Chains A and B, each alone.
Chain A
Amino acid sequence: AQKITQTQPGMFVQEKEAVTLDCTYDTSDPSYGLFWYKQPSSGEMIFLIYQGSYDQQNATEGRYSLNFQKARKSANLVISASQLGDSAMYFCAMTGNGGFKTIFGAGTRLFVKA
């Protein structure tokens, strides 16, 4: 069975500093995708970044990068130069072989301090 674990219920970071949000996963599928989504207090889920299980390089999207360590089954999100608007819930998610069985972690709430 697939599983996503986010062990940090809440994180604080100072504005303009970098922060790492942890995500570990478990799957027996040979091919899978890993995603990070942001959910502000308004509630709408926003896609941030994607990493395929066969991708050799870590994904980057602007201030977001995904630290993918396949052997350790981890897919941590790094946000550089945090902004006040980054305060939100962050969810790690995974899809299995063929793009089915999407599962989400419990989320990490990030607080950015001025």
Chain B
Amino acid sequence: EAGVAQSPRYKIIEKRQSVAFWCNPISGHATLYWYQQILGQGPKLLIQFQNNGVVDDSQLPKDRFSAERLKGVDSTLKIQPAKLEDSAVYLCASSLAPGIEQYFGPGTRLTVT
């Protein structure tokens, strides 16, 4: 069974530029999560989807971050415009349903200069 796929693995951009990350969850997983993990910290949940609907985006900085999950499968997370403090690893995870174990992708390491 294929795991959670993410791309790109690394991205370097200048502040005020935009960037997009892509995630393909495990087949059949209805719940998809995006996390931000700043170096030396635990992951912070940005947004949680159930199928193609948002169920929690309370910690998503909506003035610059957006995410969508079209057709309830793939998802993209966008940052526009990026700030220096957005430098982090962005993790995508999926689970069969909310509240059970999550399976994580390899992450995208973003550096904003």
Contact = CB atoms under 8 A, between A and B. Distances in A.
Contacts of A91: 42-43
B97 interface: yes
Nearest to A96: B99
Interface residues of A, number: 24
Interface residues on B, range: 20 to 34
A67 interface: no
B45 A103 contact: yes
Given A43-B106, A45-B93, A101 B100 contact: no
B102 interface: yes
Interface of B: 31, 33, 41-45, 48, 55-56, 58, 89, 91, 93, 97-107
Interface of A: 4, 33, 35, 37, 42-47, 50, 91, 93, 95, 98-107
